[in-house]
Amino acid sequence: MRRSIATVCLSGSLVDKMHAASAAGFDGIEMFEPDLVSSELSPEEVVALAARLGLTLDLYQPFRDFEGVGEEALVENLRRAEAKFRLMNRLGIDTMLVCSNVATATIDSDQVSADQLRRMGEVAAEHGVRIAFEALAWGRFVDDYRRSWRIVELADHPNVGVCLDSFHILSRGHDPADIERIPGDKIFFLQLADAPALSMDVLSWSRHHRVFPGEGSFDLPAFLAHVLRAGYDGPLSLEVFNDTFRQTDVDRTAVHALRSLVWLEDQSQRILDGSEGLLPCVEPPTGFDFVEVKAEDTSDVEVMLGQLGFAFRGRHRSKPVSLWTSGDARIVLNEQHARDTVAHLSAIGFLVAEPDAAGRRAQELMAPVVHRRTYATEVPLQAVEAPDGTEIFFGGPPTSAWIDEFHGGTGTPGELVTAVDHVNLAQPWQDFDEAVLFFTSVLGLEAEDAGVELAGPRGLVRSRVMSSPLSDVRLPLNVVPPADEQSPSSQHVALLCSDTRAAVRRARAAGLSILPVPANYYDDLQARLGLDDEFRRELEALGVMYERDATGEYFNAYTRTIGQVFFELVERRDGYSGYGASNAPVRMAAQRR
């Protein structure tokens, strides 16, 4: 299907927006009126630019406050509309979006609104254009797509149809199934946007918090499937009003936007015909293959891994890279091309059933490919770059052959650390939504919930956990306040262990410093959970934190930070599935000290 984007989604001038939409691969744009009004380009120059860029101009929008008014106002509105139809003729645009009246409507009558839209349709027909009537969620009288369709049906004019916008329908909780009752050729336009679940007035929600499909909490694949079943075959167009996207790099946002449409089309296709989507179907990962830490000098991390019970598994035969393992946890330390960099999380390998298909899927979703030099005899790895720059590798099954490229290991690992439990990735604030979509579309992970917000010592930390269906892969994404972006509290690898307290005792005996936890934390914990004194003293003496809920128990402890990374030891009992969220503010404050 044709893919389109409203200019309002993107930052910069109209010319910047058109270039970015074209470069990303969109077929067309919705011309948002204020972008044209503020442009120095004449309508004819816009047409010429669009032709050069291979973009169609699919919609002119919005035309406001037309219907439900008295006769005098209507005459004025028709004059206003006709001026815009003449402009549309200059632009070669054949469809205008008319939003339901939010301000000047005085008559609450389907028949009156239908008569007035029919008169508009007659004028539109004289100019060879059509009008697409959209029920805004905050319309004065028309705020439901079923009512806008009733009015259009009553207007009964070939140049009058509806515009469906997923935000206005899903934000109000209106059932999208009734879309299938609308004849496809009367759906003149389709606008797609997702949004996080927020309890606030719907206008502010719409104007500031829309996100691209796959990033919020609406079910866009099911929504689009209804529209396609109705027989709609016009463009799929994104209309996302979002404060962040308005101020971030336009070219990057355009690619990010197109990725959401490619993903959405694929998902809806699967709903419609059972299985065959557009993208190589890739099962979500079943585990972590490895986590890579990069630094100019990784020796401090090596010491820490030894204290945590990891064994040195060997050095890579051709690169300055070493492998450390304990159970199924594999940590790769990389000093290649790492001059002047402190220890940081540089790559995550995921175990997938079909690494090649996963790599192809990622490329079709426009994930930037990572090129790492591999030699003829080595296993070629499929890798792409996540929005925050972390390299994502696809390996397996069941564990990757690349491990055999490491030689000269010594020692045997301890038995306490058994696997990587989760990896926390710090996201610059402007990348957060894009990262959610990236891990949803490229890896097939799902957001566990709408996310949480924690008060950190230097600002709010937003957190959302992306995980695989069986939770064998968990990736909490944290938006850290700008002051903390390069700071210690950003990234960490949580290691699953069979007994956190034993692992901490062992690590302490080997000389590891565990992050100190204040006595106030243990006072609060004891008060909240009614811990007995002996248990509390044991936790406190070790610096082990604790959480308990209806599902089970969580024991965890943090190492000191090296460069930008630290490790967490975690023990889950009885299926506890959280992350000890109440611990994070205490941890961040301790790290700051």
Contact 172, 107 (CB under 8 A): no
Q: How far is the CB of 139 from ligand DHB (least distance, A)?
A: 10
Q: Which residues from 19-78 bind ligand DHB, rule CB under 6 A?
A: 61-62
Q: How far is the CB of 193 from Mg ion (least distance, A)?
A: 8
Q: What CA–CA distance (Å, rounded) separates 587 from 593?
A: 10
Q: How many chain residues touch ligand DHB (CB under 6 A)? A: 11
61 binds, among Mg ion, ligand DHB, none (CB under 5 to 8 A by kind): ligand DHB
Residue 207 near ligand DHB by CB under 6 A: yes
**Which residues partner with 331 through β-bridges?**
291, 324
- List, as residue ranges, the binding site: 134, 165, 191, 239, 422, 492, 568
Contact 331, 403 (CB under 8 A): no
Q: What CA–CA distance (Å, rounded) separates 116 from 111?
A: 9
Nearer to ligand DHB, 61 or 441 (CB): 61
Q: What CA–CA distance (Å, rounded) separates 210 from 215?
A: 9
Q: How far is the CB of 101 from ligand DHB (least distance, A)?
A: 12
Look at residues 63, 20, 430 and name the one whose alpha carbon lies nearest to residue 211: 430
Nearer to Mg ion, 32 or 432 (CB): 32
207 binds, among Mg ion, ligand DHB, none (CB under 5 to 8 A by kind): ligand DHB
Look up tokens 């003149």; give the residue: 188
First to last CA, the chain: 55
User: ∠316-320-323 over CA atoms, to 5°?
Assistant: 45
Q: How far is the CB of 327 from Mg ion (least distance, A)?
A: 52
Q: Which residues from 236-295 bind Mg ion, rule CB under 5 A?
A: 239
Q: Which residues from 449-478 bind ligand DHB, rule CB under 6 A?
A: none
- List, as residue ranges, the binding site for Mg(2+): 422, 492, 568
Q: How far is the CB of 119 from ligand DHB (least distance, A)?
A: 22
478 binds, among ligand DHB, Mg ion, none (CB under 5 to 8 A by kind): none
Question: x/- contact string, 173-192, with ligand DHB (CB under 6 A)?
Answer: ------------------x-
Phi, psi of 95 (to 5 degrees): -130, 135
Q: How far is the CB of 207 from ligand DHB (least distance, A)?
A: 5
Q: CB within 8 A of 76, min separation 6: which ones?
A: none
Look up tokens 């009512």; give the residue: 147
Nearer to ligand DHB, 137 or 333 (CB): 137
Look at residues 156, 91, 105 and name the one whose alpha carbon lies nearest to residue 135: 105
Nearer to ligand DHB, 138 or 438 (CB): 138
Q: What CA–CA distance (Å, rounded) separates 526 from 221?
A: 46
Q: Which two tokens stand for residue 585?
A: 């503010």
Nearer to ligand DHB, 21 or 301 (CB): 21
CB atoms within 10 A of CB 363: 15
440 binds, among Mg ion, ligand DHB, none (CB under 5 to 8 A by kind): none
On the CB side of 554, CA atoms within 13 Å amount to 24
**Which residues partner with 311 through β-bridges?**
325
Residue 95 near Mg ion by CB under 5 A: no
Nearer to Mg ion, 165 or 391 (CB): 165
Q: Which residues from 367-396 bind ligand DHB, rule CB under 6 A?
A: none
4 binds, among ligand DHB, Mg ion, none (CB under 5 to 8 A by kind): none
Nearer to ligand DHB, 32 or 576 (CB): 32
Look at residues 586, 459, 457, 453 and name the one whose alpha carbon lies nearest to residue 523: 586
Total length of the chain:
593
Contact 513, 535 (CB under 8 A): no
DSSP code string of 310-362: -EEEEEESSSSEEEEEETTEEEEEE-TT-TT--SEEEEEEEE-S-HHHHHHHH
Interface residue with ligand DHB, options 18, 46, 57, 97 (CB under 6 A): 97
Q: What CA–CA distance (Å, rounded) separates 558 from 569?
A: 6
Angle, in degrees to the nearest 10, between helices 533-542 and 500-509: 40
DSSP code string of 201-240: -HHHHHHHH-B-TTSSSS-HHHHHHHHHHTT--S-EEE--
| Order of all β-strands in the sheet with 391-395 | 382-385, 391-395, 344-351, 287-294, 329-334, 321-326, 311-316, 406-410
User: ∠12-16-20 over CA atoms, to 5°?
Assistant: 115
Q: Which residues from 160-189 bind Mg ion, rule CB under 5 A?
A: 165
Q: Which two tokens stand for residue 527?
A: 């008060």
Residue of minimal CB distance from Mg ion? 165
Nearer to ligand DHB, 179 or 333 (CB): 179
Nearer to Mg ion, 100 or 441 (CB): 100
Nearer to ligand DHB, 191 or 298 (CB): 191
Interface residue with ligand DHB, options 10, 55, 99, 135 (CB under 6 A): 99
Q: How far is the CB of 191 from Mg ion (least distance, A)?
A: 4
Nearer to Mg ion, 133 or 324 (CB): 133
Interface residue with Mg ion, options 191, 253, 390, 468 (CB under 5 A): 191
Q: How far is the CB of 238 from ligand DHB (least distance, A)?
A: 11
Q: How far is the CB of 300 from ligand DHB (least distance, A)?
A: 52
Residue 307 near ligand DHB by CB under 6 A: no
Residue of minimal CB distance from ligand DHB? 62
Contact 132, 117 (CB under 8 A): no
Q: What CA–CA distance (Å, rounded) separates 199 from 585?
A: 25
DSSP 103: S
Interface residue with ligand DHB, options 95, 206, 463, 583 (CB under 6 A): 206
Nearer to ligand DHB, 8 or 21 (CB): 8
Question: x/- contact string, 126-165, with ligand DHB (CB under 6 A)?
Answer: --------x-x----------------------------x
571 binds, among ligand DHB, Mg ion, none (CB under 5 to 8 A by kind): none
- List, as residue ranges, the binding site for a divalent metal cation: 134, 165, 191, 239
Binding site for Mg ion (CB under 5 A): 165, 191, 239
Binding site for ligand DHB (CB under 6 A): 61-62, 97, 99, 134, 136, 165, 191, 206-207, 239
